[in-house]
Structure 1
C-alpha cells in the first residue's frame, strides 16, 4: 500500500471492544468465554494434535500437518482442508469442554468447504431451516 495510506489507519481499541461484547452477552444471556489461540493454525484438527497453551509448547512439539499455501492445509494423511476452518475448529476444540459442545459431527467433510454447521439444534433453528426450504426462488 504505501507510507501515506498506512498513516491513515486508525487503531481499534480492542479492550473496549471486548468489554462491550462481554456486556452485550450478559444482557442477552450469552455466555462469554475468552481464550487464547496459540498453535491453533499450525496443529491439525483431523489428526488430533495436542494444543499447548501459549508459552508452554513442549520441546520437540511438531504439528502433524502443514499449511501449504494461503487458505489450504494438508493433514498427515494428505487430506486437503480449508486452513481457516482448521484453525477455528482447533479454537473450538480448546473451549468445547467448558461449553459442553459435542464435536462428533465436525468431521473431514465439514472442513473441506466453508459452510455453516449447527452444532446444536433448537426448535427455532429447525423451523427457520424448514421455512427456507419451502420458499419460492431459493
Structure 2
C-alpha cells in the first residue's frame, strides 16, 4: 500500500528479470526505464502524506517487516512497533483511515477457542479505538 501511495512501479527495486536473457532484449532501453522508475520512486516517497503503521507481537516478525520495507525503499514511510491485537491503541496522529490486519489463524494459532477469544478481543479493540476507520481482516475462514 505504501508503494502504491508513493506511485512506485512494481518491482522497482528488483535487481534482475528473466526477460533480460532474451535474445532481443535491449539493455539501454531497459536501463533508461529503470532509471526513470527509480527517480519516480524517490520523488513519490517524498510526496506521501499518508501514515503507515506496522504492529506485531513478535519482535522477529517486526525485524523481517522492517527489512522488507527497507529493501522496497519505503522504510521511512512506516512506523513499526511491537503490539498485541487485543490491546492495540490508536497511534498518535492517526485519524480516519484503513486498518489491514493478518492476525493469527488456523494452524498459526493452534486452537479454535483461542482464535475466537483473540478475534473477539481484537474486534472490541477496533470498535473502542478506531471508530470511523475501515478494517480489512485476512483469514483462512470462509465466514
Q: Same fold (TM over 0.5)?
A: no
- Shorter-chain TM band: under 0.3
- TM-score normalised to structure 2 length: 0.26
User: Higher RCO, 1 or 2 (CA under 8 Å, sep at least 6)?
Assistant: 2
- TM-score normalised to structure 1 length: 0.27
Structure with greater strand percent: 2
